[in-house]
Amino acid sequence: MIRLINKYKNQITAISGILIVLGFLLSVAEYESYKDLALITATLIAIIPIAIRAFQALRMKAFSIELLVTIAVVGALYLHEYTESSVVTFLFLFGAYLEARTLEKTRSSLKALVDMAPQEADVIREGENLTIPVEEVVKGDRVIIRSGGKVSVDGRIVSGKGILNEAAITGESVPASKAIDDKVYSGTIVDNGYLEIIAEKVGDDTTFARIIELVEEAQESKSKTQKFLDNFATYYTPAIVVLSIIVYALTRNLHLAITFLVVACPGALVIGAPVSNVAGIGNGARNGVLVKGGEVMDRLSKVDTIVFDKTGTLTKGKPEVTDIKTFSNLEAVELLRMVAKAETISEHHLGQTIVKEANKRNLSIEGELLNGEVIKGNGIRAQVDGHDLAIGNRKLMDAENIQVSDEVSAYALKREKAGNTAIFAAVDGQVAGIFSIADQIREDAPRALAELRKNGIKKMVMLTGDNKHTAELVANVLGLDEFQAELLPENKVSFVKKLKDEGHVVAMAGDGINDAPAIATADIGLAMGEGGTDVSMETADVVLMADKLMQFSHAYALAKATVRNMKQNTFIAVAIVFILLAGVLLGYVHLASGMFIHEASILIVILNAMRLIRFNSKNGSSETELG
C-alpha cells in the first residue's frame, strides 16, 4: 500500500492540483458548499504521502519537515481553513517534485560520466570472437575495440592503433593517438582505428570506476559549514515545534501558531550548502579535476601560496631534442641518423632521447654497429657506416683528442645557459654538430600561472632536485617569486612546513610519487595524475587527470566560485527564514503564501547552485556569471 502511494505520488499531486482549481471554479460559479468538498478532498489525498513519511520518520525518532506540515494541515482543517490546507499540501508535494527534478540536474554532471561506462565487450577466447557483458571480462582477456567502440577495461595495446577520445578519464577533449604498448583506459572511446588489448584491470578496479567512486564519495563528504548546518537542523526542527507552542500559549491564536510552524521549516538551509558542493565537484570531474570533497573545496579556495615541483609539473618531465646545430657539411638529419644509430647501444636517458627523436622522424637506424663502446659518464664511441663517431660531453672530446674550436665552444655554452644539455657529436675526429636536449616547460604553464595569480595566488615557489642553473632559468621564464634547487625530498617537506608556519595556506603540486611526502604535508596536495596513477589518486586532495596546469587554475577558480555560491545560498536561506518569521508575526504572511515562499526559496538555492555546472574559468565568465 505504502509502496503504491509512493509510486503514484506525482499523480496524487496532479489530482490534488486539479481539485483545487476545480474548487475555485466552483466558487466563482457560486457553488460554495461544493468548493469546500473539492478542497477537503484535495487536502486529504495530498496529505496521505506526507503523513506516511512523517510517521515513518517519527518511528526512527527523527523530526521531519513532513511532521510539521502534517500538524499544520490537521490544525488548518480543524479551523475550517480548507483553501489554506489544500494549497499547503499541494505546494509541498509539487515543491518536492520540482526539487527532485532540479536536484537531478545538479547531480547530472556525474551521471553523464556514469553513463559513459561501457556495457559490453568483444573478446577473443580460444580463437573465438565473443560479445560478452563487461562484468564477465577477466584479467588477461584479449579485448577488441573497433572504430566508435568504447574501451571496457584498462589494458595495454598488443595490436593495432587508433585515435582515442579520453575525455571520460582526463576531461581533455583533444583525442590522443595510441599504438602498441600504450595504456588505454576503460570509458575512453576509439574515434578511429582498431585495437586489440590485453585486459589488466577490470570491473571496479579500472581507473574509470575508481574515479566515479572517488567523486561520489567526495560529493558526500561534508564541509564544515555543512556539518554545522546539519547539526543546526537537528535542533532547529524540534525547537520550532516548541516555539510555535509558545506562540500559541502567548497569543491563543492557533492560526498564527500553525503558520509559524510551516514557514519555519529549514528547507533551503539544509539543502543550500550541499547542493553547491555537488555541482562544484561535478563540474571539476567533468573537466578532469578530482576535488576530494567539500572540505578540500573550502581549503583550496583559501590557498595563497603554491609550491611547484619542477620536473614533470612545470616541465614536461620528458627531455626532448630542442636543436641540432651542424658545424660540417653534413645535413642535420643525416647527422641525427648516424648519431642515433650509435646511441642505440646507450642506456643513458640523453642517448635514448636522441634515439627517440630519430624514431619520431622515421629515420632508419637499424643495422650493424662496429666497436660500440660506452664511456661511463662521458658518452659513447662507435663506427657507423664506415665513420668513427664520438658522442658525448666536452671531457670525451678532450679524451679523444678532438679539437673544439672557439666557435663550437661558445655555441655550446650559449645553449647550456638557455637551459639545455649540450652534446658534442664528432665524426672522424672533427666536431660535426651539437645536440641540445632540454626538459621543456609545459606549453600551458605561463597562461595557467598568470591565471592563478589573477585569481588570488600571492606567492609561487618552485622546488627541484635539479641544478641551480636550470632551475633559475625555468623560474625566470615563468616569473616565479622564489626557487630552491638541489633539494632532496625531505628538504621539500621542511620547506612546505616552513611556509605553513609563516601563516601561508599552501598548495603543493607534484607528480604524486616522489613528491608524495611534501604533497601530504601541504594544506592542499595536488597531483598530476597522468591518467591517474594509484598513488597520486590516494594521497592527493586534488588530482589533475589530464596532467594540464590549466586544470589547476580551473580548479582554483572553481573552488572560489563554489565557496562563494555556498555563501550566497546560506545567506539566501537565512534571510528568507527571517523575512518569513517577521512577516508571520506582523501578520503579512499566511499559511499558503508562507508555504509558497518556503518552496520557492528551496528552488532558488538549487537553481543558484546549478550555475556552477556551467562554470567555465577559461572564457573568463567567472566574474560576470558568478561575481
Partner 1 sequence: MAKAEFQLEPLTCPTCVKKIESTLTRAKGVDSVKVLFNSSKVKAEFDDTQTNAEKLKLTIENLGYTVSGSKTS
Write down the least CB distance from residue 240 to partner 1, Å.
14
Q: Measured at the alpha carbon of residue 428, what is the angle toward residues 425 and 433, in degrees to the nearest 5?
A: 25
Using the minimum distance from each CB to partner 1, give the nearer residue, 224 or 498.
224
Q: Which of 141, 309, 466, 515 is catalytic?
A: 309
DSSP string, 580-611: HHHHHHHT---HHHHHHHHHHHHHHHHHHHHT
Q: Single out the segment in contact with partner 1 by CB under 8 A; choices: 94-102, 238-246, 285-293, 471-479.
A: 94-102
Using the minimum distance from each CB to partner 1, give the nearer residue, 51 or 493.
51
Using the minimum distance from each CB to partner 1, give the nearer residue, 157 or 212.
212
Using the minimum distance from each CB to partner 1, give the nearer residue, 65 or 153.
65
Residue 86's identity, in one-letter code, is: S
Among 220, 334, 398, 534, binds partner 1 (CB under 8 A): 220
Cell (9 digits) for 520: 601530504
**Closest Cα partner for 306 from 526, 529, 474, 511?**
526
The answer to whether residue 404 forms part of the interface with partner 1 (CB under 8 A) is no
The answer to whether residue 2 forms part of the interface with partner 1 (CB under 8 A) is yes
Distances from the Cα of 56 to the Cαs of 100, 337, 501, in angstroms? 20, 79, 51
The answer to whether residue 107 forms part of the interface with partner 1 (CB under 8 A) is yes
The answer to whether residue 110 forms part of the interface with partner 1 (CB under 8 A) is yes
Q: Single out the segment in contact with partner 1 by CB under 8 A; choices: 32-40, 55-63, 367-375, 483-491.
A: 55-63
The answer to whether residue 604 forms part of the interface with partner 1 (CB under 8 A) is no
Q: Give residues 12-51 in contact with partner 1 (rule: CB under 8 A).
A: 49
Q: Give residues 274-303 in contact with partner 1 (rule: CB under 8 A).
A: 274, 278
Tell me if 38 sits within 8 A of 20, measured CB to CB: yes
> Is the dihedral angle over the CA atoms 440, 442, 447, 450 positive or is it negative?
negative
**Closest Cα partner for 276 from 604, 625, 30, 619?**
604
Write down the least CB distance from residue 6 to partner 1, Å.
5
Q: 144: which residues sit within 8 A by CB, 6+ positions away?
A: 122, 123, 124, 129, 194, 195, 196
Element (H, E) at 177: strand 176-178
Q: Give residues 126-155 in contact with partner 1 (rule: CB under 8 A).
A: none
Using the minimum distance from each CB to partner 1, give the nearer residue, 53 or 504.
53
Using the minimum distance from each CB to partner 1, give the nearer residue, 49 or 193.
49
Distances from the Cα of 354 to the Cαs of 322, 346, 351, 513, in angstroms? 10, 10, 5, 26
Write down the least CB distance from residue 310 to partner 1, Å.
38
Q: Single out the segment in contact with partner 1 by CB under 8 A; choices: 161-169, 212-220, 320-328, 487-495.
A: 212-220
Using the minimum distance from each CB to partner 1, give the nearer residue, 54 or 408.
54
> Is the dihedral angle over the CA atoms 283, 285, 288, 294 positive or is it negative?
positive
DSSP string, 309-338: EIIIIIEEEEEEEEEEEESSSS-HHHHHHH
Write down the least CB distance from residue 77 to partner 1, Å.
23
Write down the least CB distance from residue 285 to partner 1, Å.
12
Using the minimum distance from each CB to partner 1, give the nearer residue, 441 or 602.
602
For partner 1, what does the binding mask look like between residues 564 and 603, x meaning CB under 8 A?
A: ----------------------------------------
Q: How many residues bind partner 1 (CB under 8 A)?
A: 33
CA 381 to chain centre: 49
Q: Give residues 227-266 in contact with partner 1 (rule: CB under 8 A).
A: 230, 233
The answer to whether residue 60 forms part of the interface with partner 1 (CB under 8 A) is yes
Whole-number Å distance between alpha carbons of 294 and 51: 34
Q: Is 309 a catalytic residue?
A: yes
The answer to whether residue 52 forms part of the interface with partner 1 (CB under 8 A) is yes
Q: Single out the segment in contact with partner 1 by CB under 8 A; choices: 103-111, 156-164, 311-319, 387-395.
A: 103-111
The answer to whether residue 99 forms part of the interface with partner 1 (CB under 8 A) is yes
- Strand ranges inside 33-172, DSSP E: 120-125, 128-133, 142-145, 154-165
Tell me if 38 sits within 8 A of 5, measured CB to CB: no
**Closest Cα partner for 400 from 412, 385, 390, 409?**
390
Whole-number Å distance between alpha carbons of 127 and 179: 23
492 CB-side CA count, 13 A: 29
The answer to whether residue 607 forms part of the interface with partner 1 (CB under 8 A) is no
Q: Single out the segment in contact with partner 1 by CB under 8 A; choices: 217-225, 404-412, 463-471, 544-552.
A: 217-225
Using the minimum distance from each CB to partner 1, give the nearer residue, 9 or 590.
9
Write down the least CB distance from residue 470 to partner 1, Å.
46
Collapsing DSSP to helix, strand or coil, 55 comes out as: helix
Tell me if 546 sits within 8 A of 535, measured CB to CB: no
Cell (9 digits) for 93: 508535494
Among 10, 56, 253, 359, binds partner 1 (CB under 8 A): 56
Using the minimum distance from each CB to partner 1, give the nearer residue, 56 or 403.
56
Tell me if 391 sits within 8 A of 425, measured CB to CB: yes
The answer to whether residue 53 forms part of the interface with partner 1 (CB under 8 A) is yes
Tell me which residues are annotated as active site: 309
Residues at the interface with partner 1 (CB under 8 A): 2-3, 5-7, 49, 52-53, 56-57, 60, 62-65, 96, 99-100, 103-104, 107, 110, 204, 216-217, 219-220, 230, 233, 270-271, 274, 278
